Amino acid sequence: MTDPDQQPDAAPQPGPAPQPGPAPQPGPAPQPDAAPQPDAAPQPDAAPRYAPPPGFVPQPPGSPAPAHGFAAAPPEHPYAAGAPRTGGVSDIAMGLGLAAVLTVAVSAAYFGAFAVVGALLGIAAIALGAIGLVKRRRKWTGITGIVSGAVALLAALALLAVTLFGFAAHALGAAGAGAAPWSGGDASQGDADGGAGAPDSGDWPQSLATGALLFSGDANGVRMVEPHFDPESDFPLDAETEADRVRVYVDYSCPYCSMFEEANGENLEQVLASGEALVEVVPLNFLDRVSMGTRYSSRAAGAVTCIAELQPAAAWPAHRALLSAEIQPQEGTAGPDDATLIATLDEAVGGLDAGAASCIEEGRYVDFAQRLNDWVSTNPVPGADDPALRVDSTPFIVANGARYAGDPTDPEAFRAFLVEQGFGLD
């Protein structure tokens, strides 16, 4: 039985509910392994342990490394040391020097006074060449300018001296304007003697008594006309003929005279073959001044005069030969010497007489050629329609008093001119 006083055992009280422990805190999430860091660049010691390879260029951070481990150096800038120097004034000096040489060469062939321009160009070339050398420009162009300028300057001075000498000689020769070419003096002396100037023995070639070599002809050929010698007559003597006349002034150094002869030699021979006309040839020496001091024009004119005096049948072929392109020397050159001239004419005329060859060799009529030239250049053309007409160039052609102003190299134009002046040409 149960003791009533006995309290029943208390029901076991549940113990306090176990408090849950703090929730386990998650540990830090596992971090991925860090990427391996490159080794820090070694700090340079007092002396570097190695030198970068040639061409190494440091790259900015983050730049991909080149495959070969270092970047190639960019090419050197072409103007890194400054723009290259050009020739400048030296090039200009060379150009002026060469232009000066060319100018002097051209002036020697055509107009001697134009050498002044060549001299000025030469001086400019020398000055600019020297400036170029001082400024260390192109050395070879500067030297070329100086040398060519000096050559042009010296050549120009020499040419000017020759030209001035020629002008002075011409002025002295023309001082007695109106004097006969054989007199060698002034007209007053000739008047005092009662004539145009008494000739010295052997100094007055009878073949040039009219101031020209006179040629006539017929179907059998060309021959000389010897005018009557009359020392009491005024110069030039009249040929005393009513025949038609063509007067041709030539210089045996003149290239245009050669061209005229080549184009119109046959026309003149047809004029002569008619038997009714004369051809008058006046040999001048305008171009002695450019024959390098040899007086070739005077020597050639003197040679033709020798032949006209001593072997007249050969005068016409000698005249034509000296104007042929095969024999005439280039303008501005010395021309052949007397021995070569004699040999050339001997072949051209089929044999020179000993007397004619000796006359050429001794230069008997060379000085007379100068006096004839002076007379022609200071007096009007005899028988010209224009009383003031003077010879101012070669070839200079007058037919029956009228001057031919056409192209000297056009045979048809010249033939038409002759017909217009009354020459009977078929």
Domain locations in the chain? 89-175, 187-420
**pLDDT at res. 51:** 60
* Residue 141 CB burial class (10 angstroms; 0-12, 13-18, ≥19): buried
* pLDDT value of residue 4: 47
User: What pLDDT is stored for residue 68 in this prediction?
Assistant: 53
* pLDDT (0 to 100) of residue 65: 56
Q: What is the pLDDT of residue 208?
A: 83
Mean pLDDT by 10 residues, the chain (426 residues): 48 53 55 54 53 61 56 54 61 84 75 74 86 78 85 83 57 40 37 36 70 85 71 54 85 94 93 88 91 91 94 94 91 88 94 94 91 89 91 92 94 94 81
Residue 358 and residue 348 in contact, taking contact as beta carbons nearer than 8 Å:
no
Taking the C-alpha atoms of residue 16 and residue 14, their distance in angstroms, rounded to an integer, is 6
User: What is the distance between the alpha carbons of residues 64 and 52, in angstroms, rounded to a whole number?
Assistant: 18
- For the record, the structure tokens of 146 come out as 């100086």
SS3 221: strand
Helix/strand/coil (H, E, C) string of 85-124? CCCCHHHHHHHHHHHHHHHHHHHHHCCHHHHHHHHHHHHH
Exposed e or buried b for every residue in 202-225, given b needs 16+ CB within 10 A? ebbbebbbbbbbbbbbeeeebbbb
Q: Against a cut of 0.85, is the pTM above it? A: no
Instruction: Identify the pLDDT of residue 191.
Output: 35
The pLDDT, as a whole number, for residue 172 is 42
pLDDT at 320: 94
What's the pLDDT score for residue 382? Answer: 87
Collect all residues with Cβ–Cβ distance below 8 Å to 415 and sequence separation of at least 6: 264, 267, 425
Buried b (16+ CB within 10 A) or exposed e, 300-321: bbbbbbbbbbbbbebbbebbbb
Architecture of the structural domain at 187-420: 3-Layer(aba) Sandwich (3.40)
Q: Are 384 and 398 in contact (CB under 8 A)?
A: yes
pLDDT for the residue 155: 85
DSSP 403: E
**Model pLDDT, residue 33:** 53
Q: What is the pLDDT of residue 198?
A: 36
> Tell me, what's the pLDDT at 280?
92
Closest CA to 181 of 305, 315, 322, 356: 305
Residue for token pair 């999430």: 29
